[in-house]
A = this chain, B = another copy of it.
Amino acid sequence: MKAIAVISGGLDSTTLGYLMRDQGYKLEALSFNYGQRHRKELAFAETVARDLGAPWTLINLEAAGIGRMLRGSALTDASFEVPEGHYAAENMRVTIVPNRNAIMLAIACAAAGSSGAEAVALAVHAGDHPIYPDCRPDFIHSFEAMERIAMEGTAQISILAPFSSHSKADIVQLGDKLGVPFANTWSCYKGGEIHCGACGTCYERREAFQLAGVKDPTEYAAEPVFQAP
């Protein structure tokens, strides 16, 4: 069994890589520079791939000229502030990068086809669903159905999203069991020297370790601004 894992260098996709390896998949890791301001995550992705013994490919959407189409998000556009507070809150909508996952999955399916992999795996999780339409199960199913037609006669690629029903705390618990080196993962959207501790994804990361009852090895620059979602 061979699979392409989309690995960002974050906690979720790193755990995904360890899970897939645990399940016996021969892995290839695919990461994307889409102009994210926290592109320092990509160095973490490379390390994860090396630790997993998975060939690592970086796709540079910026170099292709696609980056500017993905502006208009706080993740990719310096004219927006990265919002602070709870990840599931409405103010996090500004972190949507429209159509990012469709572009990444389409490229990952081509990679799967060319390397003889039967599956593409993505670490979307239940906590993503309120904000990001392209993280929801109906998106994953619809994308897989589309690819069945697109690649008919060439390859039939399954899209695996094993964390679709997992909270981030569930992922931390699973990663803890699998021996994921959480200190070697990057979440913070601000992409500074250390995790800022206040942005939506730092908030979510810290909360996940607390809820999971797993020691958080992350060094944060500040306490989060705790707000009800």
Contacts and interface: CB of A to CB of B under 8 A. Distances in A.
Interface stretch (A79-87, A141-149, A177-185, A208-216): A141-149
Count this chain's copies in the assembly. Answer: 2
A193 interface: no
- The size bracket of the interface on A is 35 or more
Given A66-B59, A146-B142, A151 B110 contact: no
Contacts of A145: 142, 146
Nearest to A114: B69
A218 interface: no
Interface stretch (A14-22, A44-52, A93-101): A93-101
Given A63-B64, A102-B106, A106-B99, A138 B149 contact: yes
Interface of A: 57-61, 63-66, 68-72, 93, 96, 98-103, 106-107, 109-111, 113-114, 133-134, 136, 138-139, 142-143, 145-147, 149-155
Closest 3 CB pairs of A and B: A64-B64, A133-B152, A99-B110
